[in-house]
Chains A and B, each alone.
Chain A
Amino acid sequence: MPNCMIEVNGLVKKYGDRVTVNGVSFCVQDGEIFCLLGPNGAGKTTTISILATLLPPDEGQATIGGYDLVRETNLIKPLIGFVPQELALYPTLSAWDNLAFFGRIYGLRGMALKERITAALGLVGLRDRAGDVVRTFSGGMKRRLNIAAGLIHQPRILFLDEPTVGVDPQSRNFIFEHIERLKAEGMTILYTTHYMEEAERLCDRVAIMDEGRILALDTPRGLVGLLGGGVIHVGVAAEAIEDLLPAIRTLPHVRAASAQDCRLKVETGAARPALLELIELCNARDVPILSLEVLEPNLESVFLHLTGKHLRD
């Protein structure tokens, strides 16, 4: 794979009999924002924890910045920044003291440390709250400071594990802008989320994960393209399904049709004309439509298409 900052091959992590990461492989290119998208329990956090050197893999290989994840951990650590899902901050210390502490841990001293703290606080819009105790911050401000703490040593690679959980829309937008700025500066970012809007907005490529596996990996546009113009679910009486399916497959705007959970699942290149054709067909056959659902082509519907589950299930 060309110019992989993070390269993962056949990664496996087990807890007893439970396999939480099951043969995951991908490559994150230099300067790319790569997203692991999936519901809670999909294996995203375990994957990012392994790559951030927090957990040893049971099987598979990975390199970070060209260094082997298992044998060259000490060379990897200075390259990476980690923003955990938790607000990993000291609530009784000020924002400045928190960043100063994490900076010192990374070997920053004196003026260099002060400059980095000032820059990191500026990046997340907290410069005017530098002296305030973190406990007094809003949830969004804490999230932003959480990100700043992961950036204090200017890492080349940043791991962001669900960085917007519990954040209000305004702060979320603020965080998105920071991440976009980091990407513009050339940082490589591995980002986990279960919000498809985040993946669509921020990520160059998205790996859809469920039950420890990557189900699909492409650009957001490429993934959405899997559904073409969308998917229509039509609920009809069970005995009518076998009769309708062959006829539906012959409709001009229908790509494929199948039965799924007592419903007809119709994939189409253009949802609106396909919907009209389906309604006409049902009327002509005198089959009552019991329910109707049109899935616009987005990552949520792609996930539903791939797994039969919603992202927030």
Chain B
Amino acid sequence: MLNQILALAWKDLKIFFKDPGAVALIFLQPFMFIVVMSYALGGLFEPGGGQIQLLAVNQDRGPHAAAILRQLDEMDAFQVETTWEGQPLTRGMAEKLIVEGKQNLALVFPPDFSEVLEQDPAAPERRTTKILVIVDPATSSQFVEPILGTLQGLIERRTYTVMIPRRLDYLFERLAPQTPVEQRETFKAQAQEAMSGGLLGGREPVVTVERTTPAGMQVEKNPDTFQQNVPGYTIYGIFWIVSLLAGSVLEEKREGTFRRLLVAPMNRAVMLAGKLLPYYIINLIQLVIMLGASSLLFGVSLGHSPAGLVAVSLVAAAAATGLGVLVSALTRTEAQVGGLTVLLLLTMSALGGCFVPRFIMPDWLKTMGLITPHAWALDAYQDLLVRGYGLREVLPKVGALAAFAAAFFGIGVWRFRFE
């Protein structure tokens, strides 16, 4: 019996490795996704990497817009461009670049920006002005909003720097005109520093912000795009085994080889086991190659728990192979295999968070994602690779994946037809 299973498995492995299309689908496709998407989205995760280019049109007659733009440019995330091809940037040029799709956002500081900041607090009418942010409507608000927030913060800081001393001078004149100049300057300096949170003087700020992770996670470094993408696209990749397995079963039925095997002294359970084993093995090879290559080539951390990694990989591969059995049982033609596979895999991958992180999805979609093995597998891999958890923490997810595998196998075998 074991020899028959091994003979069946060896035959299918030989057929698989002789088919360049199948090898590319299983090994190359998800790997290319990882590489392309990681480089494309590099700026989202890597500090200092993938800077956002900001066009800035500075019409300000005073010094303050230039000061704000300098501060923006000093930040890791931004690269401020006030000239374009050697020419000082104008609003017209900026709009043309956005219309042509070369840029998607530009800041325009008005001519009276510094004058408004420096206006006399005693003036009967308060002057206001506006900084324009010209945005391509196709640009995601997730991209625009952080830029606006940063800009708003810098403007407020600049306002403190410029307006507080003037306001205090005005108040001294009105309330305590006899105060000596030295005392006024000391008070102004202390008030200014206190109101700006210590950010403006030479001393360390009293409040700082530090990025950290929840207790229990052992994260060596903040994840880069590869670290974020490898689990997602690995899960996406292993489920493509469904297409190969269902296609192979269909071919055996069409070519009549199943009929020939059914005449042989071999029971149907052995036949099915021999048919599934090679695809399970291919899935495991795929996982080893994807994770191994990502670690070697891109420095992706594989976490601290080899046991956890093995456990998750074994059940994730079982769920993928199980889904293959189910699709084999439900399809009768190549068109059905192709259609159902693409529909299921793309929908499940999207719902499961392989393409878009689930945390940005609405709650109902997040809940729907839990009906896919992808979501559980992805969460388990992220626990191990990104969050630094161990086997104990991922056991519930391993259990969920085992349940998916059992359900897929159970229904698939029940509905399976050999002819």
Contact = CB atoms under 8 A, between A and B. Distances in A.
Interface of A: 49, 52-54, 74, 77-78, 80-82, 84-93, 97, 101-102, 104-107, 109, 149-150
B55 to A, nearest CB: 57
B263 A52 contact: yes
B259 A88 contact: yes
A30 to B, nearest CB: 20
B4 A93 contact: no
The 5 closest A-B pairs by CB, nearest first: A86-B256, A104-B7, A88-B256, A77-B265, A82-B263
B145 interface: no
Determine which residue in A86, A93, A101 has the highest number of CB atoms from chain B within 10 A of its CB, and name it: A101
Contacts of B3: 104, 107, 109
Contact of B264 (A86, A89, A106): A106
A109 B7 CA distance: 11
**Which residue among B256, B263, B266 has the maximum number of chain A CB atoms within 10 Å of its CB?**
B263
Nearest to B19: A92
A54 B256 contact: no
Interface string B63-80: 000000000000000000
B19 A84 contact: no
Nearest to B271: A105
Contact of A82 (B7, B11, B260): B260
Contacts of A106: 264-265
Contacts of A54: 259, 262-263, 419
A78 B265 CA distance: 6
B358 to A, nearest CB: 40
B271 to A, nearest CB: 9
Given A77-B265, A89-B255, A97 B260 contact: no
Given A54-B263, A77-B263, A105-B264, A88 B19 contact: no
Nearest to B263: A82
A92 B262 contact: no
A77 B18 contact: no
A90 B260 contact: no
B14 interface: yes
Contact of B7 (A80, A86, A89, A101): A101
B255 A92 contact: no
Given A102-B260, A105-B7, A88 B265 contact: no
